[in-house]
Amino acid sequence: MTAASVLIADDHPLFRRGLRAAIVESGRFRVVAEAGDGETAIRQIERYAPAVALVDLAMPVKDGLEVLAWATKHAAATRIVVMTLYKERDYVDRAAALGAAGYLVKDDAQDELLRCLATVLDGEFFLSPAVGAPNPPPPADADISRALARLTPAQRSVLRLLADYRTNKDIARLLEISPKTVENHRANMVASLGLVGANALLQFAVRHRHWL
C-alpha cells in the first residue's frame, strides 16, 4: 500500500523537522514537500497535490486560513489540517467553516500527529484534545428552529455530537448504534436540510450547535 503524501507548512524549521521525523518514522505516510510561508505552501500544493497538508495558522505572506480558503476552492482533494497554538473553539469553528479537515494544537502534535493524519484520511474531522469548550450560546433564531424541527430526535442526537467534532465511530459508540446507521442519519440530514458539499453538515452543526 502506497504511503499517503503529506505537505508541512510552518515558518519554524525546527518544528517542521520534528513533524517530518515523526511522519517518516511511522512508515505510514511520506513527506513530499515543506513550506515556510503561505504563498509557498499554495505553490507546493499545486505542484504535489498531497493527500494532506499540515498548515500553520500564523505564517508570513499568507496565513493558514488564506491557504485553507484557497485550497478549498482550487485543491479540494487535499485535506487541510490547521496547526496552531490557539486552543479557543472560535478558531476551530472558523477553520471548519472554511473547509478544514482537522485542527491540530501544536501542544498535542507529539502525541496526536499520526492519529490526526489517519483520521482526516478516513474522511473524519480531527480535533485536538487540547481545544477548549464552546462559547456561551447566542440568542435563538426562528429560521434555525424551523430547520431543526425537520430532523428526528435520533438525527438531532447525531448532529449534536457532530457539532463537537466527533467522528462517525465516536458517535456510533456513544449512541450505541452502528457506524452505518450514523452514515445514514448524516445522509438523510443533508437531504432534509438541503445542504450541498462534503463539509456542509459539519459546518451547519458547528454554526448552530447551541440550539441542538
For residue 122, the domain's CATH number is: 3.40.50.2300
User: Is residue 116 exposed (0-12), middle (13-18) or buried (19+ Cβ within 10 Å)?
Assistant: buried
Greatest mean pLDDT range, 18-32, 125-139, 189-203: 18-32
Residue-averaged pLDDT of the chain? 90
Do 154 and 58 fall into the same domain? no
Do 31 and 100 fall into the same domain? yes
203 domain-assigned: yes
pLDDT interval class at 54 (50, 70, 90):
very high
- What pLDDT score does 148 carry? 83
Choose one of 78, 101, 127: the last residue of a domain: 127
Give the helix ranges, DSSP H, for the chain: 13-26, 38-48, 64-74, 89-97, 109-121, 142-149, 153-162, 168-175, 179-193, 200-207
Do 109 and 153 fall into the same domain? no
Q: How far apart are CA 211 and CA 57, in angstroms?
A: 29
Q: Tell me the average pLDDT across 125-151.
A: 75
Q: Tell me the average pLDDT across 86-114.
A: 92
Do 72 and 99 fall into the same domain? yes
Choose one of 77, 101, 127: the last residue of a domain: 127
134 domain-assigned: no
Do 31 and 56 fall into the same domain? yes
pLDDT, tens digit (0-9, with 9 covering 90-100), for 20-48? 999 999 999 999 999 999 999 999 999 99
135 domain-assigned: no
152 domain-assigned: yes
- What pLDDT score does 1 carry? 62
Q: What is the CATH number of the domain that holds 190?
A: 1.10.10.10
Q: How many domains does the chain have?
A: 2
User: Is residue 90 exposed (0-12), middle (13-18) or buried (19+ Cβ within 10 Å)?
Assistant: exposed
161 pLDDT higher than 60:
yes
Q: How far apart are CA 70 and CA 48, in angstroms?
A: 15
Residue 128 is classified by DSSP as -
Do 72 and 168 fall into the same domain? no
Choose one of 67, 100, 127: the last residue of a domain: 127
138 pLDDT higher than 70:
no
Do 96 and 197 fall into the same domain? no
137 domain-assigned: no
- What pLDDT score does 117 carry? 97
136 domain-assigned: no
Do 150 and 118 fall into the same domain? no
Cell of 71: 485550497
Residues 33, 42 contacting (CB under 8 angstroms): no
20 domain-assigned: yes
Do 183 and 91 fall into the same domain? no
Do 95 and 69 fall into the same domain? yes
Give the residue numbers spanning the domain of 156. 142-211
Do 123 and 178 fall into the same domain? no
- What pLDDT score does 133 carry? 63
137 pLDDT higher than 70:
no
Of 116, 97, 98, 96, which Cα lies nearest the Cα of 106? Answer: 116
